[in-house]
Amino acid sequence: MMPALSPRQVQAASIELSSSGLIRLVSEIDDHGAIPPRTLSYTFADLTREQIRQAIGQADRLGLLDRSHAGLGLTPAGGDLADLYDASARWARRHNSPAPVCDFAERIRHTFVSLGETSADPGLTAGETDAEFGRVQRLLAEWICTHQPRQICGDLGMAA
């Protein structure tokens, strides 16, 4: 059974997982496979070396990266996060959120902001959110509970 998450926990996770560099890194590896370290600056030509280092450091802290002879790949947590990003982007694209024309990372960031706001507003009923958004909410909660249990759960499996 999945423990209940507090609005604060959902908001914190939404913020942590919505950095542009992290979204780009996870999505690129998910779409194209492992990235050899020497090609990182070519793969992310619009990011500075520092931004790439920050994204890799954040992904390492979250346990998302697997290093092998092929380069940087995704762990199961990274693959599940990529699935969450895809579901978030699909929902945002279907609802033209935040705008009809928008890039992938911006759609995900906006959806994660909405996830954090929805969790903080107890007045929002299930009927006010569509089924697909509810699925994205569940995927986020499952990801947090599956891949970040020490950060969110106490010794008894209850929300901290």
pLDDT, tens digit, 9 for 90 and up, residues 15-43: 999 999 999 999 999 999 999 989 999 99
d(CA 43, CA 39): 6
Nearest of 126, 145, 116 to residue 15 by alpha carbon: 116
Label the pairing between strands 65-68 and 71-74. Answer: antiparallel
Residues 89-108 have pLDDT tens digits of 999 999 988 888 889 999 99
- Residue 156 backbone phi and psi in degrees, to 5: -95, 10
In the predicted structure, residue 119 carries a pLDDT above the cut 90: no
Nearest of 114, 91, 119, 115 to residue 104 by alpha carbon: 91
pLDDT more than 70, % of the chain: 84
The domain segmentation of the chain, as residue ranges, is 7-152
E strand or H helix at 90: helix 76-94
d(CA 74, CA 35): 10
d(CA 135, CA 113): 16
E strand or H helix at 98: none
Mean local confidence (pLDDT), 35-57: 94
d(CA 78, CA 94): 24
Q: Is cis: bond before 98, omega within 30 of 0?
A: yes
DSSP for 39-50, written as a single string: GHHHHTTTS-HH
**What number does CATH give the domain 7-152?**
1.10.10
Nearest of 98, 142, 104, 119 to residue 9 by alpha carbon: 119
